[in-house]
């Protein structure tokens, strides 16, 4: 119906309900409005700006005074990025998701000399020229992180990197990752000549072991170089690498090494117990991560056994964070020695251990109770009995047993006593609906829950989990129920109704979820203040391409930032999604198989992920 003259008059003069509301806002003291706005995140601030002229003015002033801007949760196109950053011109810290940024000039325009902390994520279309520009425009930069995608011009990269390093003399932390390539991008030889004296943290991937040994060894002759944190992704981790690291970098506080072998490493070049023993020289070490990845080849550290772990725990008792992956010759005795020797241990993670059994956790007397995070991934011998002693860790916030297929319902009885638990990952566990009922009765403040691949859980179990308005109904923000054949529209209805704080939902490979479930999510009752931001529908084969009509309307899923529709009929409507994305410049539609938010896989996107 067309607006009448009286309606228009009320709109412009402030009469009517909207005008009364705005008039009331005008009467609020400015310091109260400012105090409230300071507690909001960026998205909430943008919403508040639409409430009234007073709030709009206050938000504009607040944005202009922000010292830090984190846009990692938004994949903005170039125009939107320019629009947002122009309102936060004085920010000293910038974090930007560049997945939809198509050329370097979009980033050039936001680089200024006042920036001291810069993180550029998912740079799928940026060239190495961006490095030179950063050096020229951000001379006061202290912390820098960038993620490139699939470039294979190592000499050009090195040239641009050196140009940048020569102009940012205050740099303290440098992190460069190049995803989607196995080539030796980082030839670090002679790099030590150009690293600023202020650098204390260095993270590079990928590079080769022999390059790394060469330049780290040369650092021994540079008295001013005092690196405290080193993180490398290599082709191989060897004793020679460890010996060189400890001799050249005795002040290390953090050491993070991952290798990705293409073939079985030779016995002569591999890591042994001797290499681990060398770490006792690093008396300041508090964070240690050594991982042999299986990305390219199912290799493991075959020359490290329990003795190596005993030597490590004896020489590095001050460790607070330990991550060990691929140590298939180490048994429960070796891993247990770490738990008993490191009295300040806060994080402990073991990946792909075929010999880690329940006995490692059998007698926890004397083990530090400071543990906050425990991750035991793909350890096939672990059962629920390993979790029996967990109740003694009264501060545990993260528990991850993904890939441990012998974990079953009794485990949930132990977990339900962990009143501080915020993140729980039980992927592929042998739990049932009854187990979820136990977890629900535990009334835990869980914010992130993953039960992907728990094939014995059905819609009934989802109902048990959220029964009775437990804490989880108010705290759960991220839920993964992918690869669960027992989940259908009924389970999604329970989730959409009960999980009031839900923002991330993964339904990949849920074959019985239909269009009706999507309409339920759109109409989430009483949850309009907390909207879905990321939704993964990969390989949900019962969804029809008619769903595109739901997305073409701007009202449904108005908070959605990321949508995964790979291997569904919606792929046939790829052209229509251009219309959807034009109306929602913050939305990324992924037609590949990426996990939520394209955290892994974005480097293979052909065109900005959609």
DSSP string, 470-481: -HHHHH--EEE-
Q: Please, what is the end-to-end C-alpha distance for the chain in angstroms? A: 38
Single out the residue in 151, 167, 184 at which a domain terminates.
Answer: 184
pLDDT at 69: 87
Please state the separation of Cα 412 from the chain's center in Å: 26
Q: Among candidates 277, 202, 266, which has minimal Cα distance to 233?
A: 202
Q: What DSSP designation does 160 have?
A: H
Cβ burial of 587 (10 Å; 0-12, 13-18, 19+) is buried
Q: Among candidates 93, 103, 28, 34, which has minimal Cα distance to 67?
A: 93
pLDDT at 333: 95
Please indicate, yes or no, if residue 328 is contained in any of the structural domains.
Answer: no
User: Phi/psi at 120 (nearest 5 deg)?
Assistant: -115, 110
Structure-block tokens of residue 207: 């590079």
Please indicate, yes or no, if residue 276 is contained in any of the structural domains.
Answer: no
Matching residue, tokens 């202020």 = 198
CATH code assigned at 551 = 3.80.10.10
pLDDT at 64 over 80: no
pLDDT at 362: 82
Kindly list the distances between the CA atom of residue 146 and the CA atoms of 84, 461, 605, in Å, as whole numbers in the listed order.
20, 42, 18
Among 185-189, 290-294, 383-387, name the one with the lowest average pLDDT. Answer: 185-189
Q: What's the pLDDT tens digit per position in 508-534?
A: 999 999 999 998 888 675 555 578 899
Using DSSP, state whether 271 is helix, strand or coil: coil
Q: Are strands 117-123 and 143-149 parallel, antiparallel or unpaired?
A: parallel
Greater model confidence, 483 or 22 = 483
Q: Which residues lie below 8 Å from residue 43, measured CB to CB, with a gap of 6+?
A: 73, 559
User: Stretch 560-570: mean pLDDT, rounded?
Assistant: 93
- Percentage of the chain modeled with pLDDT above 70: 86
Q: Considering Cα of 189, then 195, then 199, then 202, what sign does the dihedral take?
A: negative
User: Stretch 286-290: mean pLDDT, rounded?
Assistant: 98
pLDDT at 554: 64
Dist. CA 98–CA 289, nearest whole Å: 28
* Confidence category of residue 334, pLDDT binned at 50, 70, 90: very high
Report yes or no: 206 and 260 within 8 Å, Cβ to Cβ: yes
Query: What domain range includes position 93?
Result: 41-184
User: Stretch 464-476: mean pLDDT, rounded?
Assistant: 91
Greater model confidence, 363 or 421 = 421
Q: What's the pLDDT tens digit per position in 117-159?
A: 999 999 988 999 999 999 999 999 999 999 998 766 778 888 8
Structure-block tokens of residue 475: 């705290």
Q: Are strands 229-234 and 201-205 parallel, antiparallel or unpaired?
A: parallel
Q: Considering Cα of 428, then 429, then 433, then 438, what sign does the dihedral take?
A: negative
Among 21-35, 304-318, 399-413, 449-463, name the one with the lowest average pLDDT. Answer: 21-35
H or E element at residue 150: none
Report yes or no: 489 and 520 within 8 Å, Cβ to Cβ: yes
pLDDT at 17: 45
Task: Considering only CA atoms, give the Rg of the chain.
Answer: 26
pLDDT at 522: 82
Dist. CA 337–CA 335, nearest whole Å: 5
CB atoms within 10 A of CB 57: 13
pLDDT at 11: 39
Structure-block tokens of residue 587: 């939305």
Q: Provide the b/e sequence for 501-532 (b: ≥16 CB within 10 Å).
A: ebbbbbbbbbebbbbebbebbbebeebeeeeb
Report yes or no: 382 and 411 within 8 Å, Cβ to Cβ: no
pLDDT at 39 over 90: no
Dist. CA 81–CA 74, nearest whole Å: 9
Most confident of 440-444, 485-489, 519-523, 559-563: 485-489
* Confidence category of residue 549, pLDDT binned at 50, 70, 90: confident
pLDDT at 555 over 90: no
pLDDT at 68: 86
Report the chain's mean pLDDT, rounded to a whole number.
87
Report yes or no: 59 and 45 within 8 Å, Cβ to Cβ: yes
pLDDT at 78: 82
* Confidence category of residue 347, pLDDT binned at 50, 70, 90: very high
User: Stretch 173-186: mean pLDDT, rounded?
Assistant: 83
Dist. CA 478–CA 86, nearest whole Å: 32
User: Stretch 154-178: mean pLDDT, rounded?
Assistant: 91
pLDDT at 12 over 50: no
pLDDT at 591 over 50: yes
Please indicate, yes or no, if residue 204 is contained in any of the structural domains.
Answer: no
Report yes or no: 25 and 54 within 8 Å, Cβ to Cβ: yes
Among 250-259, 352-361, 386-395, 434-443, name the one with the lowest average pLDDT. Answer: 386-395
pLDDT at 426 over 80: yes
Q: Which residues lie below 8 Å from residue 607, measured CB to CB, with a gap of 6+?
A: none
Single out the residue in 184, 211, 229 at which a domain terminates.
Answer: 184
Among 66-80, 289-303, 316-330, name the one with the lowest average pLDDT. Answer: 66-80
Count of domains for the chain: 2
pLDDT at 451 over 80: yes
Matching residue, tokens 């759960």 = 476
Q: At what angle do helices 209-219 and 239-248 cross, to 10 degrees?
A: 20
pLDDT at 381 over 50: yes
Single out the residue in 159, 184, 209 at which a domain terminates.
Answer: 184
CATH code assigned at 125 = 3.80.10
Among 39-53, 245-259, 483-497, name the one with the lowest average pLDDT. Answer: 39-53
Structure-block tokens of residue 478: 């991220």
pLDDT at 246 over 70: yes
Please indicate, yes or no, if residue 143 is contained in any of the structural domains.
Answer: yes
Matching residue, tokens 């290798």 = 259
Please indicate, yes or no, if residue 355 is contained in any of the structural domains.
Answer: no
pLDDT at 470 over 50: yes
Among 48-57, 172-181, 204-213, name the one with the lowest average pLDDT. Answer: 48-57
Please indicate, yes or no, if residue 311 is contained in any of the structural domains.
Answer: no
Structure-block tokens of residue 415: 């977990």
Q: At what angle do helices 332-341 and 306-315 cross, to 10 degrees?
A: 10
Using DSSP, state whether 52 is helix, strand or coil: coil
Using DSSP, state whether 256 is helix, strand or coil: strand
Dist. CA 138–CA 394, nearest whole Å: 45
Please state the separation of Cα 510 from the chain's center in Å: 23
Please indicate, yes or no, if residue 6 is contained in any of the structural domains.
Answer: no
Greater model confidence, 472 or 51 = 472
Please indicate, yes or no, if residue 96 is contained in any of the structural domains.
Answer: yes
H or E element at residue 169: none
pLDDT at 363: 78
Among 40-44, 539-543, 587-591, name the one with the lowest average pLDDT. Answer: 40-44
Q: At what angle do helices 16-27 and 53-65 cross, to 10 degrees?
A: 50
pLDDT at 528: 56
């Amino acid at each position: 119906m067309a607006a009448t003259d009286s309606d228009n008059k009320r709109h412009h003069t402030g009469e009517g309900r909207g005008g009364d509301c705005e008039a009331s806002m005008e009467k609020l003291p400015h310091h109260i409005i400012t105090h409230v706005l300071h507690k909001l995140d960026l998205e909430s601030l943008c919403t508040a700006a639409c409430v009234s002229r007073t709030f709009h003015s206050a938000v504009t002033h607040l944005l202009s005074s922000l010292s830090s801007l984190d846009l990692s949760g938004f994949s903005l196109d170039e125009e939107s990025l320019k629009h947002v950053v122009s309102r936060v011109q004085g920010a000293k810290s910038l974090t930007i998701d560049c997945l939809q940024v198509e050329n370097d000039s979009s980033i050039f325009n936001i680089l200024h000399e006042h920036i001291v902390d810069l993180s550029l994520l998912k740079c799928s279309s940026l060239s190495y020229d961006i490095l030179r520009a950063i050096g020229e425009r951000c001379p006061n930069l202290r912390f820098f992180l960038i993620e490139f995608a699939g470039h294979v011009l190592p000499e050009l990269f090195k040239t641009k990197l050196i140009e940048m390093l020569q102009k940012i003399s205050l740099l303290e932390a440098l992190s460069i990752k190049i995803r989607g390539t196995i080539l030796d991008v980082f030839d670090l030889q002679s790099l030590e000549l150009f690293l600023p004296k202020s650098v204390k943290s260095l993270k590079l991937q990928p590079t080769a072991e022999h390059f790394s040994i060469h330049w780290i060894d040369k650092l021994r002759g540079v008295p001013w170089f005092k690196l405290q944190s080193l993180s490398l992704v290599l082709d191989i981790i060897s004793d020679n690498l460890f010996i060189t690291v400890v001799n050249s970098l005795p002040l290390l506080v953090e050491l993070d090494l991952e290798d990705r072998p293409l073939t079985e490493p030779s016995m002569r070049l591999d890591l042994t117990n001797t290499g681990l023993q060398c770490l006792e020289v690093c008396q300041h070490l508090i964070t240690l991560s050594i991982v042999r990845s299986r990305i390219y080849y199912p290799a493991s550290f075959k020359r490290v056994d329990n003795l190596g772990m005993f030597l490590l725990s004896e020489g590095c008792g001050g460790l607070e964070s330990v991550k060990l992956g691929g140590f298939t010759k180490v048994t429960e005795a070796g891993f247990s020695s770490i738990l008993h020797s490191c009295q300040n241990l806060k994080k402990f993670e073991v990946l792909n251990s075929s010999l880690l059994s329940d006995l490692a956790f059998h007698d926890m007397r004397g083990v530090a109770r400071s543990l906050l995070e425990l991750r035991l991934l793909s350890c096939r011998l672990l059962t629920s009995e390993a979790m029996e002693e967990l109740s003694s860790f009264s501060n545990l916030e993260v528990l991850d047993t993904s890939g441990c297929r012998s974990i079953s319902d009794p485990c949930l009885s132990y977990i339900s006593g962990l009143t501080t638990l915020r993140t729980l990952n039980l992927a592929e566990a042998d739990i049932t609906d009854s187990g979820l009922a136990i977890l629900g009765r535990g009334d835990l403040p869980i914010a992130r829950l993953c039960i992907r691949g728990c094939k014995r859980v059905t819609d009934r179990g989802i109902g048990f989990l959220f029964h009775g308005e437990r804490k989880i109904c108010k705290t759960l923000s991220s839920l993964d129920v992918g690869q669960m054949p027992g989940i259908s529209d009924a389970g999604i209805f329970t989730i959409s109704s009960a999980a009031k704080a839900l923002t991330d939902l993964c339904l990949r490979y849920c074959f019985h979820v239909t269009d009706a479930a999507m309409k339920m999510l759109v109409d989430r009752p009483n949850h309009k203040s907390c909207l879905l931001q990321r939704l993964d529908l990969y390989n949900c084969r019962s969804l029809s391409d008619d769903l595109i009509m739901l997305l073409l309307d701007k009202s449904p899923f108005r908070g959605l930032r990321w949508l995964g529709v790979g291997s569904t009929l919606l792929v046939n409507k790829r052209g229509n999604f251009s219309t959807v994305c034009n109306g929602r410049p913050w939305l990324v539609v992924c037609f590949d198989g990426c996990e939520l938010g394209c955290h892994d896989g974005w480097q293979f996107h052909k065109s900005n992920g959609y």
